[in-house]
Amino acid sequence: MLKDRDFWYEEARAALRQRLSLAGQTRPAPRAKNVIFMVGDGMGVSTVTAARILRGQRQGRPGEEATLAWDRFPTVGLAKVSARARPERSAL
């Protein structure tokens, strides 16, 4: 079932309303004593998108509209690294 542009705009508005409604309800968090830092190697944008589509298809839907657990995290980061940081030949 194909969805039109208005459907996706309304989906985005609903998601934004839901997040904004939570913003005023949460109390400031106390200072963290520990941090859990997860590094997913090989989890680039295309791989995560493929996982999202697969999840949706396994649920009997087209796939693109599926969400993964971390899609609901309040903060998510993406870092791009390069192999260009190798030492110069003269440093060896």
The SS3 call for residue 89 is: helix
Annotated binding site for Zn(2+): 41
Binding residue numbers: 41
Tokens encoding 69: 């657990």
Q: What percent of the chain has pLDDT over 70?
A: 80
pTM of the shown model: 0.51
What's the pLDDT score for residue 70?
84
- 69 DSSP 8-state letter: G
Q: pLDDT tens digits for the chain (92 residues)?
A: 567 888 888 988 998 888 787 766 667 778 888 888 777 778 888 888 999 999 999 999 888 889 898 888 877 787 777 766 566 666 55
Q: Which residues are part of a known binding site for Mg(2+)?
A: 41
For residues 45 and 72, what is the distance between their CA atoms, to the nearest angstrom? Answer: 16
- In angstroms, the CA 36 to CA 25 distance is 24
pLDDT score recorded for residue 60: 92
- Total H helices, total E strands in the chain: 2, 0
